[in-house]
Structure 1
Amino acid sequence: MIELKDITKVYSLGAFGRRKLTAVDNVSFSIREGRIISLIGESGSGKTTIGKMMLKLIPITKGKILFKGKDVSSMEGDKLKDYYRSVQGVFQDPFSSFNPIFKADRIFELVKSEFFPKVNENEWHKRVLNALESVGLNPKTVLNKFPHQLSGGQLQRMLIARALLLDTKFLVADEIISMLDASTRIDVLNILADLKNEGLSILFITHDLSLGYYISDESIILYRGSIMEAGKTEKVFNNPLHPYTRMLLDSVPRLDKKWETFETPERRSAEAYEGMCKYYDRCPVATKECGIQKLIEVEEDHHVACWRWKNVQ
């Protein structure tokens, strides 16, 4: 359905833009219909930047994003509007998506005026009610309310309902449950799983490995704008082959035992890092031969960007 081909995003820094920051570096992957891919990594790894490029919120520096075989970067006017009928995003802070001086259901009015101006009010009201009920909301408790009168979980579900009104085929879900309490998180995740079963494709952006494991069919581990490991979720989590993936998994607190001392590897100098693997300055098994690595297929549906993957313990 949607495919990323060697996309790169470079930001210019400083007063005159002389310094460059590569936030995303030659990332490629694809998402098929009715699949959930988790994009996992620590803060600053480029996860949100990828989501914003897919939504055309920021331009691509290099590479292509194809939706059903068509280049997204060249879409304008009616073609772009058609794209947004199929591709939508929901972000981390639900409160920032609502104007506090308007009632929360104004987001549905905006969708109608922009995309469905010819639909009569009675028909539109039925569509809104169906969309709200499909995400587990009681219309009577959320309609005609201001954002501050609703919980974060309710607002986040309303945003998902808004996307459903557009007959969305692909959803960028960027840290959409990180601000919610534990019980509400599971409810939202289960809603996404139900939508997937109905054919919706989802890019689930998260820094929480447990959530990625719970919801996704495939997982991509991102570090400093590059993919370190990718494949079916069970293979990536149950048989992690990249040192960075293993470090992430070892960092997750467990409920069945007390926290143990966890020491991160000592960083190498910046001079030693130049021209090497992105994880070279932290990698415990790195050698001087560890240059920039491309993804290697180590087994079916499992790729890793490390030539020493057999040495990872």
Structure 2
Amino acid sequence: MSPLLDIDRVGMTYVSGTLLARRVVRAVDAVSLRLEAGRPEIVAIIGESGSGKTTLARMILNLAAPTDGTIRFLGTEVATIRSKRARMDFMRQVQPIFQNPFEAFNPLKRLDRYLFMSARRFAGARGAEIDARADRALHQVGLSLAEVKGRFPHELSGGQLQRAAIARALIPAPKLIVADEPVSMVDASLRMSIVNLFRSLRDELQVSIIYITHDLATAYYISDRVLIMQRGQAVESGVARDVLANPQHPYSRLLKESVLSPDDAGKPFVSANI
């Protein structure tokens, strides 16, 4: 069986600056990661701003093509997915959740329109099944269609809106979710509820999640494995508890020193702003 996701020495190079002052930037440099099919897990990709983690996420989502290396999803090289039908099938199975929920929705459009569109386009729902699929996904994140229907994004709190964005991603029943800093724009009081939601989705829906973050605390709490990036390179990876409890790379140790240690009960770090 092909792995769910196989990232093999992927790189992204681009040129910035003017003609007279051009600079070659290596945003991602030979990063590898593998997620097995049939074994749902949460893998946290950790790094500060500029580490390359979001660029890697964009390549996984086929929003940018790597300049070297390959990314394969269920055996198919992602960069070769070009036909409309193939792209739709890929988008059904690999869903994104972005950082700012207020940018994920047009403020002039009602939220239920997005949910219904996902049900029609990606899940093939028709008639009453459209409402049923949207309502089912909303219930999975602690909301209901009655709470969302007819409402505009500004009528929900940040936490509710991010939950609606997660529900939208769940409607096609994806095999993989790529969540890029999904709690950074949410009030601190609501972050753990959303983090716990991801854990329950992994267990109940058997979906794998790539969790992009600069927050070591939530990464420690949520993930099965971690990949730590610095300046485009993967400097350390492995089982989350092992890597974060006893980091080997100097950068990993620096990240750990920037937050408090977990207590004996295994709770997440108390402070986590890297």
CA distance in 1, matches of 2:209, 2:81: 21
Trace 1:5-154 onto structure 2 (pairs within 5 A).
5-16=8-19, 18-32=22-36, 33-77=39-83, 78-116=85-123, 119-154=125-160
Unaligned stretches of 5+ residues in structure 2: 264-274
* SS across alignment from 1:105: helix
Q: Secondary structure at the match of 1:12?
A: strand
Change (3 A) 1:255 1:26: closer
Q: 2-side partners of 1:134 and 1:170: how far apart?
A: 16
Structure 1 residue aligned with 2:213, among 206, 215, 218? 206
Matches within 5 A, 1:230-249: 230-249=237-256
Q: Which residue of 1 aligns with 2:189?
A: 183
- Quote how far apart the aligned CAs of 1:64 are: 0.4
Structure 1 position 138, deviation (Å): 3.0
Q: Find runs of 4+ consecutive structure 1 residues off by over 4 angstroms.
A: 253-256
8 Å contact from structure 1 (residues 8, 60) kept in 2: yes
1:161-180 pair list within 5 angstroms: 161-180=167-186
Aligned partners of 1:60, 1:47: CA distance in 2, in Å? Answer: 13
1:3 counterpart letter in structure 2: D
Secondary structure of the residue aligned to 1:178 is coil
Residue in 2 that maps onto 1:285? none
* Superposed CA RMSD: 1.7
Offset at residue 113 of structure 1 (A): 4.3
Identity of aligned residues (%): 42
Whole-angstrom distance in 2 between the partners of 1:182 and 1:124: 33
Contact 2:179/2:210 (<8 A) preserved? yes
Query: Could you tell me whether the CA contact under 8 Å between 2:43 and 2:210 is conserved in 1?
Result: yes
CA distance in structure 2 between the aligned counterparts of 1:133 and 1:233, rounded to whole angstroms:
30
Q: Give the structure-1-normalised TM-score.
A: 0.78
Cα distance in structure 2, aligned partners of 1:58 and 1:255: 37
Structure 1 255/60 Cα, relative in aligned 2: closer, same or farther at 3 Å?
closer
* Distance apart, 1:141 and its partner CA: 1.9
Asked if the contact 2:11/2:68 (under 8 Å) is kept, the reply is yes
> Which residue does 2:266 correspond to in 1?
none
1:163: how far off?
A: 1.2
Partners of 1:253 and 1:233 in 2: how far apart?
Answer: 16
Give CA-to-partner distance per residue, 1:70-110, whole Å, 9 cap, x none.
11111122112111110011011000011111112221132
Structure 2 Cα separation of the partners of residues 229 and 255 of structure 1: 20
Number of matched pairs: 255
Partner Cα distance (2:207, 2:262) in 1: 33
In 1, the alpha carbon distance for the partners of 2:73 and 2:169 equals: 17
| Shift, 1:255, TM fit | 9.7
Q: Give, in whole Å, the separation in 2 of the partners of 1:116 and 1:40.
A: 32
Q: Is the 8 A contact 1:128 1:165 kept in 2?
A: yes
Of 95-104 and 135-144, deviating more is 135-144
1:249 is paired with a residue whose SS is: helix
| Residue 165 of structure 2, aligned match among 159, 162, 176 | 159
Letter of the 1:220 partner, please give it.
Answer: L
Distance 1:115 1:37 in 2: 25
Query: Quick check: 128-137 or 26-35, which moved more?
Result: 26-35
Q: Which moved more, 1:122-131 or 1:246-255?
A: 246-255
Query: What are the superposed Cα offsets for residues 153-187 of structure 1, whole Å, 9 maximum, x if unpaired?
Result: 11111111111111111000100001112231111
* CA shift digits 1:48-70 (9 cap, x unpaired): 00001100111211110011111
